[in-house]
Structure 1
Amino acid sequence: MAGPQQTFGQGYLGKAAQVRIGRRLRLVYRPLIGEPIPDECIDLLLALRRKEREQGRSA
């Protein structure tokens, strides 16, 4: 049976590493919560939605 040391390099992260990464990411992104979405991002999202609708009609 493979343990954590034997699965290294196969995309495995132990629970402790996942928790540490999650905490760090929350600290980094916390200041962004509540910030407005930039207009450029909204434009890209709307363009994607239009494309998806066009493809849905032609399917």
Structure 2
Amino acid sequence: MTDDRRDFGKGQLGRAAQVRIGRRLRQVYRSFIGEPIPDDCVDLLLALRRKEREHGRSP
């Protein structure tokens, strides 16, 4: 077990690992900030919202 997982429950990451992952994700996705969401993704999100409303799980 690594230091990052010490004293944490099964499947949980330590704070240091979370910070490293967050930094790396921001680096990787920085170029996508401000880009429009593709229409097919918007359609999927809207379909999900409709299903949630049908099942009484309004966001």
**TM-score with structure 2 setting the length:** 0.64
Q: Which runs of 5+ in 1 are unaligned?
A: none
Runs of 4+ in 1 over 4 A off after TM superposition: none
- Cα deviation 1:4-52 (Å, max 9, x = unaligned): 1x657x1132221111111001101111100001010111122223333
Q: Distance in 2 between matches of 1:12 and 1:51?
A: 31
1:31 aligns with 2:31: yes
Q: Which runs of 5+ in 2 are unaligned?
A: none
Which is greater in Rg? Answer: 1
The verdict on how the C-alpha distance between 1:50 and 1:27 changes in structure 2, with shifts beyond 3 A counting, is same
RMSD: 2.5
- The aligned residue for residue 16 of structure 1 is 16
The verdict on how the C-alpha distance between 1:53 and 1:27 changes in structure 2, with shifts beyond 3 A counting, is same
Q: Distance in 1 between matches of 2:25 and 2:35?
A: 17
**TM-score with structure 1 setting the length:** 0.64
Q: SS of the residue aligned with 1:37?
A: coil
